[in-house]
């Protein structure tokens, strides 16, 4: 039976049945227990594996089905090593053990499992359950997907044995049945249970002996809890915060989880700007920006895997204030603003004023980041984003950049913005280089001179991703790359 009012627990569906966890009566499970570790503590759910504990390998991939707001379900692949248990409240948790149908000693494989067998898509098998779950999510969301869509769905899954060709072939073979399977047959029952859980939007407030976990479902409750618990660590996606626990072994005593506040999940567009709720996932934003803001879509495609983008939010990426946050150079180049909410007040400020130091922001102790307001580029402006990293996909950038250029009728630089990540303690503008370029011809000779100014403008650190001199060389070469790519476009840009 469903609890009438949840105060100290979470509810979700697992193995087709309602599951309840009341943390106040369970000393073995903490609110910050990951879904991965919870599943592996259960009998019959050892298919999910821990490989990297940071969302890189995909061995821990699960699929979550949740209400789509239109009377149906949407299926998403997620990295369970990055999810705290309260994240799956009100959702249907699906593991690899749930895919095949069992009738006595007979087992009927799911179509994606059959295809993996038919195409010889597995050797050692350690990563296979995660790969199968990624294919299952693809099966439920795409009919006859293109190779690009298939490879994107598999970007977050490492395979060191088989190689990806037979796995890609298996995806193409399986995903042609309109997503029909035994989950389709049971959707009405699942939707009914999830609706009953989600009808109660009173906040989850978990208080254990050593830990507090707060999960509001409305902005009003989020602001109240923020005011009452200003020392709580805010989570809005957990792809960054979870690593504090899984990699650095840091105990998290108090968390305010905003990931279930639907009012923070919105995208509104008018002729001059795009307003994005802080809780909007990066995958949702990517799909929206494909045609409306291609420069942002381009950088989001190499932000991380689909499993990561399904969890991570724009607000989380901004509020982390990382100097290598992939979206930040573009957002700063577009004069983005943020809206902060508190009890009885709100304020807006430019994103460049939101960052005050290395991983430090100007957000006050009672405020939440609610909205990101992105100004659209003008039609006669050229915008390019770049990311240099050791891997193409699913890697932290060594240097990232955004260039925004407008030329006058004589092909001189009327306006330019050059923003770099990875070159300073914060994402930063190359002001000296910009000042030099203003009013000058947009020519190779001028750009080569600007490159020398740019080389000396920053004093980046050396670390595991790149040394200081390499970063300087990357930065100046990106300016030349931008010039080369825009040379043929300048006739249409004036």
Q: State how many domains the chain has.
A: 3
In a domain, 167, yes or no: yes
Domain membership of residue 169 (yes or no) is: yes
- My answer on whether 92 and 138 are in the same domain is yes
**Whether 155 and 18 share a structural domain:** yes
Q: What is the pLDDT of residues 32-84, one digit of tens each?
A: 999 999 999 999 999 999 999 999 999 999 999 999 999 999 999 999 999 99
User: Is 221 within the bounds of a domain?
Assistant: no
Q: Residue 5 pLDDT more than 60?
A: no
pLDDT in tens, 204-227: 999 998 899 999 999 999 999 999
Predicted local confidence at residue 7, as pLDDT: 65
| Domain residue limits at 63 | 1-199
Same domain, 365 and 451: no
Given a cut of 50, whether residue 3 has pLDDT beyond it is no
Mean pLDDT to the nearest integer, 14-22? 95
**What's the whole-number average pLDDT of the chain?**
94
pLDDT, tens only, 117-159 = 999 999 888 999 999 999 999 999 999 999 999 999 999 999 8
- Is 315 a residue whose pLDDT tops 60? yes
CA distances from 24 to 6, 17, 30, 207, 323 (A): 12, 22, 9, 7, 39
In this structure, the answer to whether residues 80 and 192 fall within a common structural domain is yes
- pLDDT score, position 39: 97
Residue 26 lies in a domain: yes
How far CA 146 is from CA of 131, 172, 299, in Å, comes to 18, 8, 20
Q: Which residues pair with 441 in a beta bridge?
A: 412
Q: Determine the average pLDDT of the residues in 284-310.
A: 95
Residue 443 has pLDDT above 50, yes or no: yes
What is the β-pairing status of strands 212-215 and 254-257? parallel
Same domain for 157 and 274:
no
The answer to whether residue 493 scores a pLDDT higher than 60 is: no
Question: What is the CATH number for 133?
Answer: 3.10.20.30
Please report which confidence band the pLDDT of residue 274 belongs to, taking 50, 70 and 90 as the band edges: very high
pLDDT at 404 over 80: yes
Q: 389 with 360, same domain?
A: no
- Whether 491 shows a pLDDT value over 90: the answer reads no
Residue 6 has pLDDT above 60, yes or no: no
Average the pLDDT over 249-277 and give the result.
Answer: 96
Where among 359, 375, 391 does a domain terminate?
A: 375
Mean pLDDT of 419-425: 95
Domain assignment present for residue 227? The answer is: no
Q: Looking at the structure, tell me whether residues 319 and 386 fall in a common domain.
A: no
* 407 domain residue, yes or no: yes
Domain contains 220: no
Query: Are residues 171 and 86 located together in one domain of the fold?
Result: yes
Q: Please check whether residues 58 and 152 belong to one and the same domain.
A: yes
- The CATH number assigned to the domain holding 444 equals 3.30.390.50
Looking at 199, 229, 252, which one is the last position of a domain?
199
Residue 222 domain-assigned (yes or no)? no
DSSP per-residue letters across 37-92: HHHHTSTT---S--SSSSSSS-TTEEEEEEE-SSSSEEEEEEEGGG-BGGGGTTSE
Residues whose CB is less than 8 angstroms from the CB of residue 244 and which lie 6 or more positions away in sequence, other chains included: 250, 252
Domain check: are 400 and 330 in the same one?
A: no
Q: Please check whether residues 127 and 270 belong to one and the same domain.
A: no
Q: Which of 356, 375, 394 is the last residue of a domain?
A: 375
CATH of the domain at 285: 3.30.465.10
Lowest mean pLDDT among 325-334, 388-397, 444-453: 388-397
Q: Which has more pLDDT, 36 or 494? A: 36
Q: How far is 63 from 19, CA to CA, in rounded Å?
A: 16
Q: Is the pLDDT of residue 403 over 60?
A: yes
Averaged pLDDT for residues 305-316: 96
pLDDT at 486 over 50: yes
pTM given for the model: 0.93
**Shared-domain flag, residues 320 and 414:** no
């Amino acid at each position: 039976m469903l609890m009438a009012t949840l105060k100290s627990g979470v509810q979700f569906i697992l193995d087709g049945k309602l599951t309840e966890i009341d943390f106040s009566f369970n000393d073995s499970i903490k609110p910050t227990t990951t879904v991965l570790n919870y599943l592996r503590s259960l009998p019959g759910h050892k298919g999910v594996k821990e490989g990297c504990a940071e969302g890189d390998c995909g061995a821990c991939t699960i699929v979550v089905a949740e209400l789509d707001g239109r009377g149906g379900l949407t299926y998403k692949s997620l990295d369970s090593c990055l999810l705290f248990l309260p994240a799956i409240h009100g959702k249907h948790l699906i593991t690899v053990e749930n895919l095949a149908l069992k009738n006595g000693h007979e087992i009927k494989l799911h179509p994606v499992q059959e295809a993996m067998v038919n195409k010889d898509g597995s050797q050692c098998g350690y990563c296979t359950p995660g790969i199968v779950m990624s294919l299952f999510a693809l099966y439920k969301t795409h009919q006859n997907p293109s190779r690009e869509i298939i490879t994107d769905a598999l970007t977050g899954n490492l395979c060191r044995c088989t190689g990806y060709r037979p796995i890609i072939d298996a995806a193409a073979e399986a995903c042609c049945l309109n997503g029909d399977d035994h989950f389709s047959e049971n959707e009405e029952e699942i939707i009914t249970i999830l609706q009953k859980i989600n009808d109660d939007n009173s906040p989850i407030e978990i208080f254990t002996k050593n830990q507090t976990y707060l999960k509001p479902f409305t902005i009003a409750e989020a602001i109240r809890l923020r005011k009452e618990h200003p020392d709580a660590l805010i989570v809005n996606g957990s792809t960054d915060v979870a690593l504090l626990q899984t990699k650095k072994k840091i105990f998290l005593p108090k968390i305010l989880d905003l990931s279930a506040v639907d009012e923070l999940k919105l995208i509104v567009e008018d002729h001059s700007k795009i307003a994005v709720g802080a809780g909007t996932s990066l995958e949702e934003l990517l799909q929206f920006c494909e045609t409306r803001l291609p420069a942002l879509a381009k950088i989001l495609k190499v932000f991380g895997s689909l499993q990561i983008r399904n969890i991570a939010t724009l607000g989380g990426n901004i509020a982390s204030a990382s100097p290598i946050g992939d979206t930040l150079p573009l957002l700063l180049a577009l004069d983005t603003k943020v809206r902060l909410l508190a009890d009885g007040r709100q304020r807006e400020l430019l994103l460049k004023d939101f960052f005050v130091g290395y991983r430090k922001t100007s957000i006050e102790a009672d405020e939440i980041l609610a909205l990101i307001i992105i100004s659209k580029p003008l039609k006669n402006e050229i915008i390019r984003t770049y990311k240099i990293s050791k891997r193409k996909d699913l890697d932290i950038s060594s240097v990232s950049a955004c260039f925004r250029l407008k030329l006058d009728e004589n092909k001189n630089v009327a306006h330019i913005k050059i923003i770099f990540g990875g070159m300073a303690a914060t994402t930063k503008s190359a002001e000296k280089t910009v000042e030099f370029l203003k009013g000058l011809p947009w020519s190779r000779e001028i750009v080569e001179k600007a490159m020398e100014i740019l080389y000396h403008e920053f004093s980046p650190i050396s670390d595991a991703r790149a040394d200081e001199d390499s970063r300087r060389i990357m930065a100046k070469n990106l300016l030349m790359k931008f010039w080369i790519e825009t040379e043929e476009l300048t006739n249409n840009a004036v």
